[in-house]
């Protein structure tokens, strides 16, 4: 049986050749290969909107604390891997579930722990999985008790708690983009994990490899993910300087101080998100601020600020995040002031109609923006449900670069949503 038609399969003619990408982004591509054992098939599709591709290569290292976490001793890096895997499974992104399984294995997590074999997990690992699942679920199910339990298991190490949560948060960016686009998995990734997680309900689904069984790879020729060792560190050290140069270039003059970052964003694009008050350390603040700037910069968008404002309203309402919805309202008032309250309420009503049969968008909203709002509503589910007729509409109404930008924007919103969930629940400890 052939895999279903996905957005990614309609983008094949416009994807960027991986060898071309390696000429400019070779260091960061190499680091990703060290993390999960393969060069992801996603890169050529993500690079269709180059701004979004840079954003991905900025956010993942910053929120995973790379390469620092690779050099850490003890259990933290395997716990970060477990959190990322748990969030990906809760989000039902099978592409990212495969990659985060490999990531966790390479950081030292045991296969029995990943799949939850009876008696395999210790108290800390159970607590980490609970936090990852709570952050990755739609709507979020994370509780104060979940965080306090993990905090206790970590002996009150706040920095470790934050990195574990941030691993789940940044996977929100990846879960959304990979799930919505429906990227085909790499043969090696499937081979590395299928014997471990297929029995847990995982399958390739929309990410299935096309072709004959021979083309997919002979059974028995399965690569094994290798745990980090001395040679891993040498390879990372070799790639590090160039990757750091690119990161510095992409961050630009974004400040690392929370208050200054918000002021900087207000000056750059006229808006900042409240979550910036809670983020840390400085590298995370800088990276998130820079990515928000890139997404709201009128000079870098192909879909326009109004489409981003309205799709933010749809996404926030669908994931039941009232704080993010309030931010999206404010964003619309600031960056799309011509959008009236009546239109905002109609868009929210459209978001509430999950089945898509009872509500209609105002005629004042153009066909491209309407298509993006359709995608936002369908993408907010876990997993995203993008039927073939919607894929065809997207292909008809949007250019490839517009499609990828819209998906990246929704991915950023999901990451901000997860960060907000973590910090808002964590702040309850002081109430």
Between CA 421 and CA 415 the distance in angstroms is 10
pLDDT for 221: 54
Distance CA 348, CA 54 (A): 31
At 211, the pLDDT band (50, 70, 90 cuts) reads low
pLDDT digits (tens, 9 = 90+) for 46-96: 999 999 999 999 999 999 999 888 887 779 999 999 999 999 999 999 999
Which of 51-55, 107-111, 426-430 has the lowest average pLDDT? 426-430
CB 307 within 8 A of CB 277: no
Distance CA 171, CA 167 (A): 6
Q: What pLDDT, on the 0 to 100 scale, is given for residue 428?
A: 81
Q: Rounded CA gap, 369 and 314, in Å?
A: 12
Whether 429 shows a pLDDT value over 60: the answer reads no
Q: Is the pLDDT of residue 2 over 80?
A: no
Q: Which domains does the chain have, with CATH numbers?
A: 7-216 (1.20.1290.10), 252-301 (no CATH), 305-398 (no CATH)
pLDDT of residue 215: 47
Instruction: Look at residue 324 in the predicted model and tell me its pLDDT.
Output: 98
Which residues, in sequence order, are CB contacts of 302 under 8 Å at separation 6+? Answer: 49, 399, 401, 402, 405
Task: Look up residue 15 and give its DSSP letter.
Answer: P
The predicted pLDDT at position 219 comes to 42
SS3 state of residue 203: coil
For the segment 400-404, the average pLDDT, to the nearest whole number, is: 99
Q: Which of 85, 86, 105, 95 is nearest to 36 (CA)?
A: 105
d(CA 247, CA 61): 9
What is the 8-class DSSP label of residue 14? G
Q: Categorize the per-residue pLDDT at 218 as very low, low, confident or very high, splitting at 50, 70 and 90.
A: very low
Residue 355 — pLDDT band, cuts 50, 70, 90?
low
Query: Which two tokens mark 2?
Result: 């052939």
How far does CA 229 lie from the centroid of its chain? 27
What is the per-residue pLDDT across 271-330, written as a single tens digit (0 to 9) for each?
999 999 999 999 999 999 999 999 999 999 999 999 999 999 999 999 999 999 999 999
Mean pLDDT of the chain: 94
Burial of 174 (0-12, 13-18, 19+ CB in 10 A): buried
Residue pair 223/192 in contact by the 8 Å Cβ criterion: yes
Lowest average pLDDT, out of 138-142, 220-224, 286-290, 300-304, goes to 220-224
Q: How far are the Cα atoms of 52, 236, 359 from residue 79, in angstroms, in the given order?
A: 28, 20, 44
DSSP structure class, residue 299: T
| pLDDT value, residue 358 | 54
Distance CA 149, CA 161 (A): 11
Question: What does the DSSP 8-state code read for residue 298?
Answer: T
Task: Report, as an integer, the average pLDDT of 11-17.
Answer: 98
């Amino acid at each position: 049986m052939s895999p279903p038609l996905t957005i990614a399969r309609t983008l094949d003619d416009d994807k960027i050749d991986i060898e071309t990408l390696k000429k400019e982004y070779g260091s960061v591509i190499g680091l990703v290969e060290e993390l999960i054992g393969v060069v992801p098939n996603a890169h050529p599709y993500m690079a269709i909107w180059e701004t979004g591709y840079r954003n991905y290569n900025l956010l993942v290292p910053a929120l995973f604390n790379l390469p620092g976490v690779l050099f850490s001793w003890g259990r933290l890096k395997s716990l970060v891997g477990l959190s990322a895997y748990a969030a990906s499974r809760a989000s039902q992104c099978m592409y990212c579930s495969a990659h985060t399984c490999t990531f966790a294995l390479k950081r030292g997590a045991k296969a029995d722990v990943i799949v939850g074999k009876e008696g395999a997990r210790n108290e800390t690992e159970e607590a980490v999985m609970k936090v990852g699942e709570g952050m990755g679920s739609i709507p979020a199910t994370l509780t104060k008790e979940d965080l306090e339990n993990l905090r206790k298991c970590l002996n009150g190490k706040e920095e470790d708690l934050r990195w574990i949560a941030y691993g789940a948060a940044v996977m929100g960016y990846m879960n959304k983009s990979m799930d919505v686009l429906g990227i085909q998995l790499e043969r090696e990734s499937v081979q590395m994990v299928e014997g471990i997680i297929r029995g847990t309900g995982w399958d390739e689904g929309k990410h299935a490899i096309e072709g004959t069984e021979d083309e997919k790879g002979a059974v028995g020729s399965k690569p094994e993910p290798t745990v980090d060792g001395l040679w891993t560190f040498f390879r990372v050290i070799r790639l590090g300087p160039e990757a750091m140069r690119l990161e510095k270039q992409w961050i630009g003059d974004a400040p690392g101080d929370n208050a200054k970052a918000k002021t900087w964003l207000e000056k750059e694009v006229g808006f900042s998100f409240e979550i910036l008050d809670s983020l840390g350390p400085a590298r995370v603040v800088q990276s998130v601020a820079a990515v928000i700037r890139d997404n709201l910069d009128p000079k870098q968008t192909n879909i326009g600020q109004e489409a981003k404002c309205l799709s933010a309203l749809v996404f926030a309402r669908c994931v039941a995040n009232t704080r993010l919805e309030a931010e999206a309202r404010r964003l619309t008032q600031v960056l799309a002031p011509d959008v009236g309250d009546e239109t905002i309420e109609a868009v929210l009503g459209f978001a509430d109609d999950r089945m898509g049969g009872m509500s209609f968008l105002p005629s004042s909203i153009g066909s491209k923006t309407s298509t993006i709002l359709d995608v936002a509503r369908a993408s907010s589910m876990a997993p995203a449900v993008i039927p073939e007729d919607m894929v065809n509409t997207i292909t008809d109404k949007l250019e490839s670069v517009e499609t990828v930008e819209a998906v990246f924007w929704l991915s950023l919103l999901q990451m901000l949503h997860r960060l907000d969930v973590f910090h808002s629940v964590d702040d309850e400890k002081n109430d």
